[in-house]
Amino acid sequence: MTARTVIAAVRDGAPVVAEDLRAFARGLASGTVSDAQAGAFAMAVLLRGLGDAGRVALTQAMRDSGDVLAWDLPGPVLDKHSTGGIGDTVSLLLAPALAACGAYVPMISGRGLGHTGGTLDKLEALEGYRTDISEDALRAVVAETGCAIVGATGQIAPADRRLYAIRDVTATVESIDLITASILSKKLAAGLGGLVLDVKCGSGAFLTDPAAARDLAQALVRTANGAGCPTWALLTDMDESLASAAGNALEVAEVLRILRGDATSPRLRAATVSLGGALLALGGLADDPADGAARIDATLRDGRAAEVFARMVAALGGPRNVVATGLAGLPEAPVVREVPAPAAGVLTACDAKALGWAVVSLGGGRQVETDPVDPAVGLSDIAPLGTSVVRGEPIARVHAAREEAADRAVVEVQAAFTLGTSFDATPLVLGEVRP
C-alpha cells in the first residue's frame, strides 16, 4: 500500500482495505504522508464518501494511530460528546453526576473555536485548573474522583490532529465521514464502554438543518457501534442559548449556582438529565433512560454531584471547596451593561449563533486557534424565548473589558432577538438515534 493508491481508491469509489487505512493513518501520525496527500485524501472522501464499512475502518485506524486507554475499574467507563452550541456547560454538570451514580468518566474535551464555546476554556476560568495532564495523572484522578475533564494528550489519536488541521485549510470540514472519524477516534481512544452524542440543530448549531443533523447522528451511531462502542445519540434544539449565560467564567458561575441549588436553568438541567439518563442505561447503571434521568437529577438535588465536582477540581489543581467558594474567585469584567428590549412584546426567536459571535467579539472566544481568550467577558441573564418584555426591560447583560466593546455587544444582542406576539415552545430533545 502507498498513500497514492489509497487516495486513488477513494477517488474512484473503490473499497479501501482496512489495513491500508491503518497504514495511511500511521503515515499521518508519523509525517510520512505529506500535507498534499492528506489534502487529496480529504477531498476524495468529501466528494466520494467511504460508506459505512470504510467509515468504521478509518475511525478505528485513526483511533489506533496513538495510545488507546484500557481501564480496570469497578464501574462502566462512560462519556458524552456535543457537536457544539451556545451556553452548553452540560459536561461540567454531567461528568460529576455520572460519577456520583457509579460511572467513571475520562472526559477528553476541546477548546472553543468559532461561535461555540469550549469546555477546557470554561474550566480554566477556575484559577489553577490543569487541563493538560499525563495519561498516568488522568488514570489517577479518574480512579480517585470518578471523573476528569481534560484535554487530549499528544498520544491520543495523533492522525486526527494532523488531518483536522489539513481539513481546515482544504475546504473539507463538512465531510460527514471525516467529521465522524474525527469525533469518534478521540472518544474511542479513551477506552469507553458507552457513549452518548448530543447532536445539536438550530440557529446556534453548526448544523441548522434537522435532516443534516439526523444524518450526522446516524453516521456517528452506526460508526461507533460498528467500532465496538455502544452508542446512542440525542438530537437537541439549539435555537437559543442552553444556559442563561455565554462566556467562560459566567458559564462556570451558573454551573456552581446549580450545584449549590441556587439556580434552576431548566434547559441546561434538562439536557444534562436526558443525556445522563441515556448513558446510565447504556452502562447498565439504570433500567432505562427514564430511570437513569431520575438518578442523575437526584445527584444534582442532593449535593452528590457537587461533592464530586469539587473533588475533581481540587485534584486537577483548581480551588478547594470550589462549589462553596468558587464564585468569589472567578474573574469579573470591569464593564457590565444591561441590554434593553428595543420594544414591547414576546421574545419569539433568537439567532443563537449571533450571541456566540457577540461573545467572541468581546474577547471571550476564538476566530483562529491561536487567539487569546478573556475568561471574564460574555453574556449573562439571557432571557429565554417566550419571555414577555416591555420596552427598556433588560433581556441580557453584557460583561466587557471596555466601554466600546460593551456598546457594540449591546447592539449585537438586541439584533439577535425577534419580538412578536406569541411563542410556541420547541422541545429540547427533538429525537434520538439508536443502533
Point out the residues that are catalytic.
Answer: 79-82, 119, 167, 182, 186-187
How distant, in Å, are the alpha carbons of 51, 137, 186 from that of 54?
5, 35, 18
Short-list 64, 63, 30, 19, CA closest to 6:
19
Distance of CA 88 to the CA centre of its chain: 7
H helix intervals, 190-340:
210-226, 248-260, 266-282, 289-302, 304-315, 322-329
The answer to whether 238 and 204 have CB atoms below 8 angstroms apart is: yes
Contacts of 363 (CB under 8 A, 6+ apart): 372, 373, 374, 377, 401, 405
The answer to whether 185 and 62 have CB atoms below 8 angstroms apart is: yes
Half-sphere exposure of 51 (CA within 13 A, CB side): 11
Handedness of CA 88, 81, 145, 373 (dihedral sign): negative
**β-bridge pairing 429-433 and 231-237:** antiparallel
Handedness of CA 317, 330, 187, 367 (dihedral sign): negative
Q: d(Cα 421, Cα 72) in Å, to the nearest integer?
A: 57
| Single-letter amino acid, residue 228 | G
Q: d(Cα 58, Cα 407) in Å, to the nearest integer?
A: 48
Output the nine-digit C-alpha cell for 221: 451511531
Q: d(Cα 139, Cα 54) in Å, to the nearest integer?
A: 32
Helix, strand, or coil (residue 198): strand
Q: How many CB atoms lie within 10 A of CB 394?
A: 13
Output the nine-digit C-alpha cell for 129: 485548573
Q: State the greatest distance between any 2 C-alpha atoms of the chain, in Å, as a whole number.
A: 68
| 6-17 burial: b if 16+ Cβ within 10 Å, else e | bbebbeeeeebe
